[in-house]
Amino acid sequence: MTDTQRLDMVSCYENSGISTPCLDALAREGVKFDKAYTVQPVCGPARSAIFTGQYPCVNGSFANSLAPGANVKTIGQRLSDKGIATGYIGKWHLDGGDYFGLGVCPDGWDPAYWYDMRNYLDELSEEDRMKSRDSQTMYKEGWPAEKTYAHRCSDRAIDYIRSHKDTDFFLVLSYDEPHDPSLCPEPFASMYSDFCLPKRENVWDTLENKPPHQQAWSGPRRFQDRDDLLIQMKELFGCNSFVDSEIGRVTDAAKEILGQDFTLLYTSDHGDMAQSHCLYAKGPSAYEEIAHIPFILWGQGTGVVDTPVSHIDIAATVWDFFGFEKPMMLQGESLLPLVRTDTRPARRDVFIEFGRYEIDHDGFGGWQPMRCIFDGRYKLVINLLSEDELYDLETDPFEMDNLICAEAVSSIRDNLMRRLLAHMDQIRDPFRGYWWEQRPWYTNRTSPSWDYTGYTRQRSEPDYEAPQLDYATGLIPDSLVRRK
């Protein structure tokens, strides 16, 4: 996986002028998912969903620098307990530490191959540490491939594959690239010096009919001349093509070592707004630019899947791949049945959320509770402390027209809301409650009730979590979900 790759930065999805030949080859030879979505468009929470199979609000890592709960098991722990070799190489971002991590291998992964960004920095002198965090380094003196984080991660991954070629294994290769500072060697460093990303229609969206928190996020960008705007991000785009070449290097090595006897899943954690809707980076929204991510499965047939899928499905898919029965703690669904059939539904609900950007920082909008449901056409976004959004991506692919109060789609909107509230209850969203449905436009809202649904929702898993006892009897209850 990569960090910060929009769809239009992967040319098999959208040929914007950015080159990714290695990923394009994987797409031609594998299954390309055209409607894949992150669970939360922030580095740590996105990874928490991928590697625990639980939504960020449930696993506890709903912001950067906030580790999952002690009772939450990663897919590495689950697989290693079943006798599968597991390796994790690259950016982790789930230990509660700073951006670089703590340099300590978590339970379930092979410590001989563990290599997070703190380990990388520890290999560098203080002078090179500072240079590695400055994009200008590659212009002033160059930064050879051998000194990049991506290249060193790739080397370790190739060594892992070679040393495990005769056994079943699960390996994660998690690049920080192309995330800034986007250091990369030539020719990538200068590849996009004069390149401008083609502007989407929503670059001219100045947020007049959009939530106030997005207007605050935009700041003065709303009032800049959008006609004269040039989207020039040469470091990001250059590093994007560089990490594509690193993915190709590892993939070629895997084919040489393993032949065709392996499966590869590629994705990215989130995208970048890059001036769409006058916004930058990522944050509390579900716009396509940051939520819609590339997702390719190689080694399980070929084709294109238009059914909506989510990062939450990855852990369940890996679990299914190794032939294990899915426990209730994995909240997604295996995608293998979807790729092994020609009958694929056009509609499937996927869910996106937001809590906050980072625990350590007061800024980035602070706490911005958001819950979103997307069914393949309509996207409903509930911004609890702000105003809500509804988009029809079939008629409005750039999400310009907020239909939240449009009478013509009120029944569709209310049905989406009903399913979203049911989802929050079903997954035990700790922030669920009566206030979510008290939106002025929601015609099916009920009167505020302290008891809300009146249900208790407990969980149990034979290998890791004993059944909780009933408060009134002290005995194991007949049902985990029951009226309190």
Using DSSP's 3-state secondary structure scheme, residue 267 falls into: strand
3, two tokens: 């960090």
Please say whether the beta carbons of 182 and 238 come within 8 A: yes
Q: What residue type is assigned to position 325 of the chain?
A: E
Please say whether the beta carbons of 52 and 331 come within 8 A: no
Q: Is 246 exposed, middle or buried (0-12, 13-18, 19+ CB in 10 A)?
A: buried
What is the spatial order of strands in the sheet that 303-305 belongs to?
Answer: 264-267, 295-298, 31-33, 303-305
Q: How far from the centroid of its chain's Cα atoms is residue 86's Cα?
A: 21
Distance, in Å, from the CA atom of 358 to the CA atom of 379, rounded to the nearest integer, reads 25
Full 3-state SS string of 50-65: HHHCCCHHHHCCCCEC
> What pLDDT score was predicted for residue 56?
98
Residue 210 contacts by C-beta under 8 Å, 6 or more apart in sequence? 277, 387, 389, 402
Domains in the chain, please, with CATH? 7-342 (3.40.720.10), 369-453 (3.30.1120.10), 458-484 (no CATH)
Give, for all 484 residues of the chain, the pLDDT tens digit: 999 999 999 999 999 999 999 999 999 999 999 999 999 999 999 999 999 999 999 999 999 999 999 999 999 999 999 999 999 999 999 999 999 999 999 999 999 999 999 999 999 999 999 999 999 999 999 999 999 999 999 999 999 999 999 999 999 999 999 999 999 999 999 999 999 999 999 999 999 999 999 999 999 999 999 999 999 999 999 999 999 999 999 999 999 999 999 999 999 999 999 999 999 999 999 999 999 999 999 999 999 999 999 999 999 999 999 999 999 999 999 999 999 988 889 899 999 999 999 999 999 999 999 999 999 999 999 999 999 999 999 999 999 999 999 999 999 999 999 999 999 999 999 999 999 999 999 999 999 999 999 999 999 998 899 888 999 899 999 999 999 8
> What pLDDT score was predicted for residue 484?
83
pTM over 0.85: yes
Q: Cite the active site residues.
A: 43, 93
> What pLDDT score was predicted for residue 223?
93
Please say whether the beta carbons of 29 and 298 come within 8 A: yes
> What pLDDT score was predicted for residue 343?
82
